[in-house]
């Protein structure tokens, strides 16, 4: 019995020692885990900072094109306002006459005579039609500028509630509008499934698509510079595959050297001359899509150019 008790005590001591060891290791593991979580938090903050700085860099690239896009409607707005100013004088003459009649400074026959004279130089029907046309043009110009500015703001300064639900088409349209100037030389086709609802950070997804489209446009423009007869084409599609939204950006540009295709998502990797690219464009795309629980891949097309495929899980 004594031996049995001794054996039990030995076994108990072994359990105690092993448990002590286990607790020591668990405590260390816990401390390491806390440290790791802190590092992940720092990394996430740094990632946000990288996305923001890349966004600012993109804004710099976009600024010339956006300025041009705003300048066009501004030009005809200015021209139309000049014309309206001239018409104001003419309208003023009619109003002065009407005023004189109301105040009995002239009688009706004098008024009629003056009106006939004015009609000979300025037709009232033309005046009314022109003023209407000019007003419509001005309104359309202001709306265009307003849309460009709104898109720019949406891109540069996202709303506080960053995670929202929106249609895939909105992202594609806002991106192509922002890049209107850069995509002018390309035949752009958009094929997007209606009511394809995505949940995420809209501004960041626009940023991702901007980076992809800018690369595609540059690839096409490079090819165009060596082959003048080349017709650059860009197809943007968005479709649903099961519970996933699939975006494809297909261009017929130069494509990517197979030797470097596996590195294009690496941070600071750039094929552009020194000082021209940050090397963060596709790395930022990778980060943004990963944050949406999705994947991004790039492949050369069999015929020409490359296709970037983005897959994002859909909202249930």
Partner 1 sequence: MKGLIFRCLEELVIEQKGMDLWEQLLEKHCPEDRVYISARSYPDEELLAIATSVSSALNLNMEQTLKAFGTYLFSFLAKKHPAIVKEFKNFDELIMSIDDVIHSEVQKLYEEPNLPTISAKILSKNKIEMIYNSPRQLCFCAEGLIYGCAEHFNESVVIEHTTCTHRSDPVCTLIITHG
140 binds partner 1 (CB under 8 A): no
Binding to partner 1 in span 24-83, by CB under 8 A: 26-27, 30
Smallest distance, Å, CB 16 to partner 1?
8
- Of 20-28, 145-153, 219-227, 247-255, the window that binds partner 1 (rule: CB under 8 A) is 20-28
The binder of partner 1 chosen from 2, 3, 5, 273 (CB under 8 A): 5
3 binds partner 1 (CB under 8 A): no
Smallest distance, Å, CB 30 to partner 1?
4
- CA-wise closest residue to 69 among 158, 163, 160, 178: 178
What is the CA angle 278-53-175, rounded to 5? 85
Smallest distance, Å, CB 19 to partner 1?
5
- Of 11-19, 85-93, 96-104, 279-287, the window that binds partner 1 (rule: CB under 8 A) is 11-19
The binder of partner 1 chosen from 10, 13, 14, 15 (CB under 8 A): 15
Smallest distance, Å, CB 240 to partner 1?
39
Smallest distance, Å, CB 35 to partner 1?
13
Closer of 33 and 124 to partner 1 (Cβ): 33
276 binds partner 1 (CB under 8 A): no
126 binds partner 1 (CB under 8 A): no
The binder of partner 1 chosen from 23, 110, 136, 227 (CB under 8 A): 23
What are the structure tokens assigned to 255, written together? 């494509």
13 binds partner 1 (CB under 8 A): no
Closer of 22 and 36 to partner 1 (Cβ): 22
> What is the contact surface with partner 1 in residues (CB under 8 A)?
4-5, 8, 12, 15, 19-20, 22-23, 26-27, 30
């Amino acid at each position: 019995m004594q031996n049995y008790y001794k054996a039990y005590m030995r076994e108990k001591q072994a359990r105690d020692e092993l448990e002590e060891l286990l607790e020591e290791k668990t405590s260390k593991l816990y401390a390491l885990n806390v440290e790791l979580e802190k590092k992940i938090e720092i990394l996430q903050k740094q990632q946000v900072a990288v996305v923001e700085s890349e966004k600012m860099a993109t804004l710099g690239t976009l600024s010339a094109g956006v300025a041009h896009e705003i300048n066009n409607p501004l030009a005809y707005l200015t021209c139309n306002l000049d014309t309206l100013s001239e018409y104001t004088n003419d309208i003023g003459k009619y109003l002065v006459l009407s005023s004189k009649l109301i105040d009995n400074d002239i009688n009706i026959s004098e008024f009629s005579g003056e009106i006939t004279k004015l009609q000979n130089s300025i037709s009232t029907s033309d005046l009314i039609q022109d003023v209407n046309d000019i007003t419509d043009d001005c309104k359309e110009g202001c709306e265009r500028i307003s849309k460009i500015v709104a898109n720019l703001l949406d891109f540069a300064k996202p709303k506080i509630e960053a995670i929202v639900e929106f249609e895939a088409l909105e992202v594609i349209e806002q991106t192509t509008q922002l890049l209107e100037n850069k995509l002018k030389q390309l035949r752009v086709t958009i094929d997007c499934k209606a009511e394809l609802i995505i949940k995420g950070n809209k501004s960041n997804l626009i940023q991702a698509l901007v980076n992809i489209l800018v690369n595609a446009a540059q690839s096409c423009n490079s090819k165009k510079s060596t082959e003048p007869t080349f017709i650059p084409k860009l197809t943007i599609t968005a479709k649903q595959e099961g519970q996933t939204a699939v975006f494809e950006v297909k261009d017929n540009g130069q494509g990517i050297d197979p030797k470097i295709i596996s590195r294009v998502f690496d941070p600071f990797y750039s094929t552009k001359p020194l000082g021209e690219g940050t090397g963060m464009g596709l790395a930022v795309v990778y980060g943004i899509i990963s944050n949406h629980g999705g994947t991004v891949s790039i492949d050369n097309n069999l015929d020409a150019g490359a296709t970037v495929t983005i897959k994002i899980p859909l909202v249930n």
